[in-house]
Each structure stands twice: as C-alpha cells, then as structure tokens.
Amino acid sequence: MGRDHAGVGDYYGPFDAQKIFSEIPSGALLLQPLCMDWTFYCYECGSMASMKTCPHSSKAVIDDAGNYKGGARLLLSGTLLRKLMSEGKPVPAEFSKPEVIAILKEYYDELEEKVEVKLHGAATGVSGKK
C-alpha cells in the first residue's frame, strides 16, 4: 500500500492511510498489507529506492532546467510532477519516460486556466499539521 491515500493537503499525515492496518487483528484479513515508505530515485544507487533500501541521505539538487546537479535522493511525487507541469518547468528524466512526459506536457500546455499546485508539507520538509 502506498502512502498518502488520504491526501487532502496537510490535514492528514503522509502515512495516516496505513495506520488502520495496525489496528486490525492479525489474521483478520485474507491478505497481508505491505505498507510502503517514501520512494525516490537515488542517483548514487542508480535506481528507485525507499528509506528502507537506500543508505544515502542527501537530497538531490535539480536546477531550473531540470538537470541533476548533485545529491542522492530525488523524491518522485505526483504532486511535484503536477506542479512542475502546471508551471511549465522541465521535469527531471527520472520521473517518467519521455513519451509520457510529452503527453502530460501537451495536456498542461493546453489548459486555459492554470492550476496552482501546492506541495504537501511532508514533501517539502515543512509540515503544516500541528
């Protein structure tokens, strides 16, 4: 199970949708939930990774042209992708295949009314939840 399925701004925490599974008695379900942590592309590992699988901790730095400049972890967030696309900014190659980005770019370029996309506090390191 991915994280942030509750995803309503900063009202819920990024892992709140997973908490209910810790409250269900063992053996009560016919399936075994697999709760996923943050996932990201790690430039040092050269692949997708999670907090549990990657030993690197530095945040990747991407310039305004979408180019990698240093660091390890590039958080692959759907919200960040929508934000970059809605602002007409380049998307790092690690986010998706070029043909997928081209389709999304065409869609966002054709929007008559641009939508402001705000990143969840947990994705930016600043949580609005008190």
Residue 111 predicted with pLDDT over 60: yes
The predicted-structure confidence for 58-108, as pLDDT tens digits, reads as follows 999 988 888 899 999 998 888 888 888 888 889 998 988 999 999 999 999
Provide the pLDDT confidence category of residue 18 given band limits of 50, 70 and 90. confident
Handedness of CA 97, 98, 103, 104 (dihedral sign): positive
pLDDT score at 123: 52
pTM equals 0.69
Q: Which of 81, 70, 72 is nearest to 103 (CA)?
A: 81
Q: Which fold has domain 37-124?
A: Rossmann fold (3.40.50)
Q: In this structure, what token pair is assigned to residue 28?
A: 């009560």
Q: In this structure, what token pair is assigned to residue 107?
A: 């869609």
Query: For the residues 6-27, what does the mean pLDDT come to?
Result: 77
Taking the C-alpha atoms of residue 63 and residue 68, their distance in angstroms, rounded to an integer, is 7
